[in-house]
A and B are shown apart, each in its own frame.
Chain A
């Protein structure tokens, strides 16, 4: 039963991804083609330079036209507009994002897929770690809040939730850097590791040292909202009849809270947490740029500054894929935690 649900969900998300990629292609095809044409022109000029001594001028001209036509055909640039959009979408779906114009990967490669690929683990490292810490602090605080709602701890932390609600994380990051990097030199100003990177165990320590400030900033802003959500979920569960029954049986408040309430409050809490992880990756685009943390978010900054359209497009496609996979994962985890979901078709 569960597998059927899994398959249905995956098929639906693949369909959604295809639709989104087509939308992207329709939106960005023109600018993408402009870049590719420029790249082809460049390449053909290079090829001609080699042939200059061998060929006559007329031959050379013919050769140029031939080569251009060949490349245009290869990239489907000679076809009508709608067909071009179709081919753009198909190549994006095949993860063929073309070559970058300026940005290179660590090994000096120009394949966009490689460039984006090497950023992915760094983004995942930072944000999953931050969210994990967030969840621990947030859920624990949320339970404490729900235990004595309306009391000082609950009220003060709720107010804090609202205070940080519209606060851009990247702005806090700017202030943190100004304070703890330049005023008091506690942390490095950014980047993944020192240059040159140390070896072995020292590398790990160095990485953690560089990770510390971004992580701290993310957690500092992140857990308030989670605590508030947990509180609300737990609080509404606490008013169920079976909780009252459990209390009537004389179970301790601890047992009621962690045994009975948490069991049924877990699925929504998990959903909220993962959902906010997904959204935080979205907001992290800017955040990474501030800390020059060389992940996918930082790549957007660099690509915009260098006006590197293929990298921008490739990064967007990969980000979207991640986002969608996250949404699916969320549903699947929800299915495990809450058996009602996978049996009854409608969510």
Chain B
């Protein structure tokens, strides 16, 4: 069989494959997954997800366990989504050793349930005296807080108004809430930001009505000292709903995690199955071709490998040695090759008896030539099919090991997200957006390769074709 014949075989195979509808669906889904991997930087709102997944400071501005934004479509009351306002009206005046900066953020509040927090971020240097004012749509103006920072070099400034405005909220409540209600309430249990986004009337604490409209948050900064300044102020409205898939218990964006996990799943699946099937095919063909003692020994080794329950072994090995993802892939390869050996061997035994192999022998072809040129190409379609069917198995195995908390901690995989969900009590608390997306992606990826593999299988087994 020449190279051109191989090409023809593959072309015929493709011609058959194109007719299987679900096979094509699988192929389209596969390309979609590839696109996700290629356009990963565009798709994720947090560009450093892959590197800083376990770095809590990277995620600290996000709300905890927040549902996806689109749950608002199904709820009677709208939850405030996360918003970042980084383009305020910024004015600064400079005098001899001081800089006076003023930033006004305009926030259009049109939801029913208020944000959890307002977070101010900026970069500054020197002695900074900050004051934050809030102007409400009903004309009330409140001084939320005053705070000073002394920064020796250029450093970030972060201000959580939920923590800082406790004093201001006390005065505000005294003016508007019924004193009888206030007497039984400790100010430390009051959420200031929630109060400031409610209608100023009795009941503001117990059953607040949302005050919708345009809020203006004014940040004033007097920076004292030579070279003191404040720049790039930004305001984060920490919402109750967040992004496409919400956040987890460590405030991480699940959508970003799932998207970043895609490339790892593809890598684990494709690499493992490709290597494993290639080994298996060579093993089977070699065993079939040589026969006799070689076959006997190879089959004995095969039986030992086949008799090892891989998942428990993998779990124990991972628990003991804490392997990296590459070691895990290697381990899976070392066991998954057995999957294709038996079929390939029996195919090899048949091909060996074909007349053209005999002819090649008679012409003095070397053993390598016969194996590579005459036997291997015949089993290539089968190899592709078993590769495709092996991909989901590899992915599920890695996910299972990761679910136990034994995954490689330097990367993000879907199994690890599910492990965190188990640990974080997502099942108990019904945080479905933490459980469904990663598992669904595993299932979708599995489906993709199942479609492709089953389609190939149907073509390879003509007996199964429906009449």
A: residues with CB less than 8 A from B are 12-13, 16-17, 19-20, 23-24, 27-28, 31, 149-150, 154, 158-159, 161-168, 170-172, 174-175, 177-178, 182-183, 232, 235-236, 239, 282-283, 285-286, 289-290, 300-301, 303-304, 307, 309, 312-313, 315-316, 319-320, 323-324, 327
Beyond A168-B443, A319-B312, list 5 extra A-B contacts (CB 8 Å): A20-B308, A166-B392, A174-B435, A282-B309, A300-B316
A19–B442 CA distance with the chains assembled, in angstroms? 35
Q: B311, B317, B389, B418: which contacts A283 (Cβ < 8 A)? A: B311
CB pair B442–A168 under 8 Å, yes or no, is yes
CB pair A168–B303 under 8 Å, yes or no, is no
Closest to A17 in B: B307
Contacts of B395 in A (CB 8 A): 166
The contact sample of 5 A-B pairs, CB cut-off 8 A, is: A154-B466, A165-B447, A166-B449, A174-B421, A319-B312
Q: Which of B392, B427, B430, B446 neighbours the largest number of chain A CB atoms within 10 Å of its CB?
A: B427
CB pair A31–B309 under 8 Å, yes or no, is no
A285–B445 CA distance with the chains assembled, in angstroms? 22
CB pair B316–A28 under 8 Å, yes or no, is yes
Given contacts A16-B304, A174-B439, A182-B428, contact A168 B309 (CB under 8 A): no
Instruction: Check if B127 is an interface residue, CB within 8 A of chain A.
Output: no
Given contacts A16-B303, A236-B461, A309-B320, contact A320 B312 (CB under 8 A): yes
Instruction: Check if B319 is an interface residue, CB within 8 A of chain A.
Output: yes
A13–B439 CA distance with the chains assembled, in angstroms? 37
Contacts of A149 in B (CB 8 A): 466-467
A320–B308 CA distance with the chains assembled, in angstroms? 7
Contacts of A236 in B (CB 8 A): 461, 463-464
Closest 7 A/B residue pairs (Cβ)? A166-B446, A166-B392, A150-B466, A165-B450, A171-B439, A162-B450, A149-B466
Closest to B308 in A: A20
Please, what's the 1-or-0 string for B174-212, where 1 marks a CB less than 8 Å from any CB in chain A? 000000000000000000000000000000000000000
A286–B397 CA distance with the chains assembled, in angstroms? 10
Q: B316, B445, B461, B466: which contacts A313 (Cβ < 8 A)? A: B316
Given contacts A16-B303, A236-B461, A236-B464, contact A167 B435 (CB under 8 A): no
Contacts of A24 in B (CB 8 A): 313
> Which size class do B's interface residues fall under?
35 or more
Distance from A137 Cβ to chain B, minimum over Cβ atoms (Å): 20
Instruction: Check if B416 is an interface residue, CB within 8 A of chain A.
Output: no
Contacts of A282 in B (CB 8 A): 309-312
Contacts of A304 in B (CB 8 A): 315, 319, 404-406
Closest to A31 in B: B320
Distance from A69 Cβ to chain B, minimum over Cβ atoms (Å): 28
CB pair A324–B307 under 8 Å, yes or no, is yes
Instruction: Check if B111 is an interface residue, CB within 8 A of chain A.
Output: no
CB pair A175–B436 under 8 Å, yes or no, is yes
Instruction: Check if B403 is an interface residue, CB within 8 A of chain A.
Output: yes
B: residues with CB less than 8 A from A are 22, 303-304, 307-313, 315-317, 319-320, 389, 391-393, 395-396, 399-400, 403-406, 418, 421-422, 426-430, 432, 435-436, 439, 442-443, 445-447, 449-451, 454, 461, 463-464, 466-467
A177–B422 CA distance with the chains assembled, in angstroms? 12
CB pair A175–B439 under 8 Å, yes or no, is yes
Distance from A330 Cβ to chain B, minimum over Cβ atoms (Å): 12
Given contacts A165-B446, A286-B403, A300-B404, contact A316 B304 (CB under 8 A): no
Contacts of A324 in B (CB 8 A): 307
Distance from B398 Cβ to chain A, minimum over Cβ atoms (Å): 11
Contacts of B309 in A (CB 8 A): 282, 319-320, 323
Contacts of A162 in B (CB 8 A): 22, 447, 450-451, 454
CB pair A239–B463 under 8 Å, yes or no, is yes
Closest to A169 in B: B396
CB pair A168–B396 under 8 Å, yes or no, is yes
Contacts of B426 in A (CB 8 A): 178
CB pair A166–B303 under 8 Å, yes or no, is no
Contacts of A166 in B (CB 8 A): 391-393, 395-396, 442-443, 445-447, 449-450
Contacts of A313 in B (CB 8 A): 316
A307–B404 CA distance with the chains assembled, in angstroms? 12
A24–B311 CA distance with the chains assembled, in angstroms? 14
CB pair B317–A27 under 8 Å, yes or no, is yes
Distance from B184 Cβ to chain A, minimum over Cβ atoms (Å): 32
Given contacts A162-B22, A304-B406, A312-B319, contact A168 B400 (CB under 8 A): yes
Contacts of A13 in B (CB 8 A): 307
A123–B301 CA distance with the chains assembled, in angstroms? 30
CB pair A16–B307 under 8 Å, yes or no, is yes
Contacts of A239 in B (CB 8 A): 463
A150–B391 CA distance with the chains assembled, in angstroms? 27
Given contacts A166-B446, A171-B439, contact A19 B304 (CB under 8 A): yes
Distance from B292 Cβ to chain A, minimum over Cβ atoms (Å): 13
Contacts of A301 in B (CB 8 A): 404
Distance from B336 Cβ to chain A, minimum over Cβ atoms (Å): 13
Q: A16, A27, A232, A309: which contacts B464 (Cβ < 8 A)? A: A232
A165–B464 CA distance with the chains assembled, in angstroms? 19
Closest to B311 in A: A282
Given contacts A149-B466, A236-B464, contact A177 B427 (CB under 8 A): yes
Given contacts A162-B450, A286-B404, A304-B406, contact A182 B304 (CB under 8 A): no
Contacts of A167 in B (CB 8 A): 439, 442-443, 446-447
Closest to A164 in B: B443
Q: Which of A150, A174, A316 neighbours the largest number of chain B CB atoms within 10 Å of its CB?
A: A174
Contacts of A290 in B (CB 8 A): 422
Given contacts A154-B466, A165-B446, A320-B312, contact A28 B320 (CB under 8 A): yes
A275–B304 CA distance with the chains assembled, in angstroms? 16
Distance from B154 Cβ to chain A, minimum over Cβ atoms (Å): 45
Q: Which of A168, A282, A303 neighbours the largest number of chain B CB atoms within 10 Å of its CB?
A: A168
Contacts of A161 in B (CB 8 A): 450, 454
Contacts of B311 in A (CB 8 A): 282-283, 285-286
A177–B449 CA distance with the chains assembled, in angstroms? 28
Closest to A308 in B: B319
Q: A20, A159, A172, A182: which contacts B430 (Cβ < 8 A)? A: A182
CB pair A159–B22 under 8 Å, yes or no, is yes
A175–B284 CA distance with the chains assembled, in angstroms? 41
A319–B308 CA distance with the chains assembled, in angstroms? 10
Contacts of A283 in B (CB 8 A): 311, 396, 400
Contacts of B303 in A (CB 8 A): 12, 16
A320–B315 CA distance with the chains assembled, in angstroms? 13
Closest to B317 in A: A27
Q: Which of A171, A235, A282, A309 neighbours the largest number of chain B CB atoms within 10 Å of its CB?
A: A171
CB pair B307–A20 under 8 Å, yes or no, is yes
A162–B446 CA distance with the chains assembled, in angstroms? 8
CB pair B432–A168 under 8 Å, yes or no, is no
Contacts of A175 in B (CB 8 A): 432, 435-436, 439
CB pair B316–A316 under 8 Å, yes or no, is yes
Contacts of B435 in A (CB 8 A): 171, 174-175, 178
Contacts of B307 in A (CB 8 A): 13, 16-17, 20, 320, 323-324, 327
